Amino acid sequence: MKKLVISTLFVLQAFFGFAQTAAGISGKVVDAKTQKPLQNVVASIQNTNFTQITNAEGKFSFAGLPLGSQMLQIKSVGYKNQLLMIEILANQMLDLGVVVLEEDITQEQQTSLIAITENDLGDDNSGSESTSSLLQASRDVFQQAAAFNWGQARFKMRGLDNEYGTTMINGIVMNKIYDGRPQYSNWGGLNDATRNQEFTNGSAPSDYTFGGILGTNEINTRASGYRKGNRISVAGTNSNYTGRLMGTIASGMRNDGWAYTISASRRFANEGVFDGTTYSANSFFASIEKKLSENNSLNLTTVFGQNTRGKNSPNTDEVTNLKDEKYNSYWGWQDGKKRNSREKTVEEPVFILSDYWKITPKTNLNLNVAYQFGKIGNSKLTYQGADNPDPTYYRNLPSYETSLYDDNGNLTPNYAQAEAKRTAFIADGQINWDGLVYANTHSGDGHSYYTSYEERTDDKLLTANGILNSQLADNIVLNAGATYRNLKSHNFQNMLDLLGGDYFLDVNLFGNSDGFHTDQIQQDLNNPNRKIGVGDTFGYNYNLMSNNIDAFTQFKFVYKKVDFYVAQSYTHAQYQREGLYKNGYYPGNSLGKSEKVSFDNFGFKGGITYKITGRQFFVVNGAFMTKAPALRNVFNNARVNNNAVDGVGSEQVTSADVSYIINNPKLKTRLTAYFSKIQNQTQSAFFFGDGAGVDDATTSVDESNAFVSETITNINKRNLGLEFGFEYPITSTLKVNGSAAYGEYIYDNNPNVSLTIDGRATETNTNPVFNFGEAKLKNYKQAGMPQTAASLGLEYRDPKFWYIGANINYLGSNYIDVAPITRTSRFYDAPLLTPGTPVDGATYERGAELLKQEKFNDFNLLNVTGGKSWKVGDQTFGFFASVNNVLDTLYKTGGFEQARNSNFTQMNQDVSSGTPAFAPKYFYGFGRTYFVNLYLNF
């Protein structure tokens, strides 16, 4: 403590001690506890191009600085930032002496965040995404609230999906070409290895890429960039996993020119927050660097994350009321153990070879080559000629018996049968694995009616890029880069378990097997009626190929009162499908390669910072870009044919924001108003729809029900809102912080809905797409996130290195994800009649009641965090603890309408019964959760 006080006084006195030399500053950065010099600390003069990295002795120096008042920022990963006011005088060198950095205990908060953001990412129909992982690098008060306090409620920055942000490792883009989103499981659990991050907000300039309108997160894994030392930690939690072990070794740059960093972790749970959700993850990281010369280094990074986790089901209110919000229909008992039928497995190692070349003192070139391969598997149960084994299948629930109608439209409930189903569901309500095995073993012919399989994606991705940074003049910086990506993605169904049977028949029983179209049931006409076993490919089998090129240039200009930048980008995307099966529905356009589909796109962005004073700034950013659709949305029915979406085109993305910022050693605050518009978006989905197959007056009732591929085109979205955050130290140890977000995220037009109905495919109709016309979605709310949020917190940080903080949070204006097909005019059409003929009794007033978008209840969350660290000899050990949702508040984080009732008659009858069989399904947030992490640095 004495050393800390002396060092602080030394810094203050340095404002008045000057040497008679050129205008500039110098200093030495040390650790507050060990008093050891800190290498690779970033020292920068804010709002200028002056940046230095401390050397092995912790020293930095600047010369030729602009005269007058300046703000010096000292920052390093794992430490609290230092912000110092300095006065630069002509012909004088300011010696700051020793600058002390204190450990930032709150860095441990990242480890609890990861568990939240992985939950349900990318699951079918979940609408569950989070941008919280994109914000870990930022120390902005508002963004920290969005990540750590609101992330558990699936808050999205500016209402944007994470495909509109860019996540990079060593300059390599990690967003998937398939859906545009990063797969966080690839590096999950490697918190120590991924702490060196740079974040840019919105469309603000990045040194590495043109980026999107959500922001850019660059993870730097260069071996020499890690602070020398070793670290082990043990964590316990009750979230997705229950325990974690992690260890890291970093050598720093050695005298022989070598540096290495190795990190590994293990996360595990027999059961997470939700019933039957197992978790097993092993992660490994290694980075090794060789200093070839003073101006050139070569670095190899390997990242491997193996992650298997059991999913949890979305449930209707009926199911939740019968059970509870933690009920999960995906699991059941088998041989005395819980088994989840839906597990997600991710194994995609990535290798990155990087060359860092300092061409001149003012020009740097970074060259990278990366290769990623592996698999993503999502397991499911299949049933063939047998009853649906899902315990929440609508025929298995009490509501089915109380919502029966006769042919005249009269409600005919069977209350006795409903009570029997209610009793049985409450008593059990899980998958009967042993019963499935019994059915297969007693089939008589060895045929498995029930099996467990996985939907697999095996990717091979090659990436090469170059990133140039050059200071063209004292006030001009050029950033430029070019990237090439080549993807081959193998997509297929893989048999995991025959559940006691001998074989599974590779046919589609939804196909027309009436003796007239017998070929339609064949998944592969070249291998009809194929019997498959464990490990065999079946169902669908195809490759998706992509070639992507992008390039950007960016110029940043820095002047005394004004900074501004301009950036441009060009991207080219070429997609193609290659079918490996000759599908029975599409014998003429399923096998072989499709036509190539190409998109050329451009982007422009710019911004200006007006320096009102050295501590107050006015910032404006704007961007316009076109963006290729994600690969998944180009081929709307890729599992069975080569057809591309008719008229699919690039999105147009417009964004602007205006900020007022105060940044001084006392008050830090930001107020931002933003606007974004996304036009011509395309989305695809699959579901079974009652009434969806109706297309002419000769259609029978049974044929009107179909499994369909839904494509929504020309979607326009408009997002606008406000962000506010502040941080103020009441005393030297007590700090108050607050954040608030207000957004209005809506659909800005009526997009078009079309359905691909396989059952309508014929030799002359190889693309059975039926246009349902406009979906009346204009002014409906976008779903999947709170649009309003607020946070108020207090933080006490004791000089003896212990810390405690608490935040109270409000989250509201979260809406359900609506079913577009029910908002088309076909919703009112009567079965068996010509389209446009309304069903008897249908009124738009009743339709408006049925189709009103549900708004979830607003809620409050109380979060508490704390920690303490000690120094014993050369070792530092400590702990971090957090409790989220202290009051155990029950809340819905998202949900979606079931699209099965796709016409007025069926939906009206279902809702009017009082216990709808196809009610919306919901996701729930975690209840009270804790996270405790013990660590040792040595």
The per-residue pLDDT for range 257-278, each reduced to its tens digit, is 999 999 999 999 999 999 999 9
Tens digits of per-residue pLDDT, 437-466? 999 999 889 999 999 999 999 999 999 999
Paired sense of beta strands 93-101 and 24-31, if any = parallel
Paired sense of beta strands 734-747 and 706-729, if any = antiparallel
Tens digits of per-residue pLDDT, 395-432? 999 999 988 888 887 889 999 999 999 999 999 999 99
Average pLDDT of 611-622? 92
Residue with tokens 């340095």: 14
- Residue 76 CA to residue 57 CA, distance in Å, equals 15
DSSP lists the bridge partners of residue 409 as: none
- Residue 436 CA to residue 452 CA, distance in Å, equals 10
pLDDT of 210 > 90? The answer is: yes
Residue with tokens 């091979």: 460
Query: For residue 397, what is the DSSP state?
Result: S
CB distance 529 to 565 below 8 Å? no
Three-state secondary structure call for residue 477: strand
- Residue 527 CA to residue 530 CA, distance in Å, equals 6
Tens digits of per-residue pLDDT, 479-499? 999 999 999 999 999 999 999
pLDDT of residue 682: 94
- Residue 203 CA to residue 674 CA, distance in Å, equals 11
Tens digits of per-residue pLDDT, 37-53? 888 888 888 777 788 88
- Residue 577 CA to residue 631 CA, distance in Å, equals 10
- Residue 416 CA to residue 114 CA, distance in Å, equals 47
| Nearest Cα to Cα of residue 141 among 541, 663, 503, 700 | 663
- Residue 526 CA to residue 584 CA, distance in Å, equals 10
pLDDT of residue 106: 55
More confident residue, 704 or 744: 744
CB distance 132 to 144 below 8 Å? no
Ranges assigned E (strand) in 784-928 = 788-798, 802-812, 859-872, 875-884, 892-896, 921-924
Tens digits of per-residue pLDDT, 803-827? 999 999 999 999 999 999 999 988 8
Element (H, E) at 599: strand 597-611
| Nearest Cα to Cα of residue 262 among 290, 288, 296 | 288
pLDDT of residue 134: 43
pLDDT of 4 > 80? The answer is: no
| Nearest Cα to Cα of residue 335 among 435, 478, 219, 479 | 435
pLDDT of 105 > 70? The answer is: no
DSSP 121-173: TT-TTT-----GGGGTT---HHHHIIIIISGGGT--GGG--GGGEEEEETTEE
Q: What are phi and psi of 613, to 5 degrees?
A: -140, -170
The token pair at 449 is 């009616």
pLDDT-based confidence at residue 691 (cuts at 50, 70, 90): low
Residues contacting 545, CB < 8 A, separation 6+: 487, 488, 489, 575, 576, 577, 578
Sign of CA dihedral 898, 900, 905, 906: negative
More confident residue, 237 or 136: 237
Average pLDDT of 289-293? 96
How many CB atoms within 10 Å of residue 801?
19
- The pTM score is 0.89
pLDDT of 21 > 80? The answer is: no
pLDDT of 469 > 80? The answer is: yes
Residue 81's identity, in one-letter code, is N
Q: Helices then strands (H, E): number in the chain?
A: 9, 44
| Nearest Cα to Cα of residue 484 among 364, 365, 572 | 572
pLDDT of residue 22: 57
Burial (CB count within 10 angstroms: exposed 0-12, middle 13-18, buried 19+), residue 561 = exposed
pLDDT of residue 614: 81
Tens digits of per-residue pLDDT, 373-386? 999 999 999 999 89
C-alpha distances in Å from residue 126, one per residue of 50, 287, 683, 754: 46, 36, 14, 21
pLDDT of residue 636: 84
Burial (CB count within 10 angstroms: exposed 0-12, middle 13-18, buried 19+), residue 301 = buried
Average pLDDT of 771-782? 95
The token pair at 172 is 């390599």
pLDDT-based confidence at residue 762 (cuts at 50, 70, 90): confident
In the chain, % of residues over pLDDT 90: 68
pLDDT of residue 49: 73
The token pair at 709 is 């591929």
The token pair at 463 is 């990436």
pLDDT of residue 111: 45
Three-state secondary structure call for residue 464: strand
Tens digits of per-residue pLDDT, 54-89? 888 889 888 878 787 787 888 887 777 788 878 888
Average pLDDT of 549-556? 98
pLDDT-based confidence at residue 116 (cuts at 50, 70, 90): very low
**Average per-residue pLDDT in the chain?**
88
- Residue 874 CA to residue 937 CA, distance in Å, equals 9
Query: Lowest-confidence range among 54-63, 334-343, 522-531?
Result: 54-63
The token pair at 531 is 């019997």
Residue with tokens 């020398």: 228
- Residue 735 CA to residue 727 CA, distance in Å, equals 7
- How many Å from the N-terminal Cα to the C-terminal Cα in the chain? 21
Q: C-alpha angle 601/606/609, rounded to 5°?
A: 165
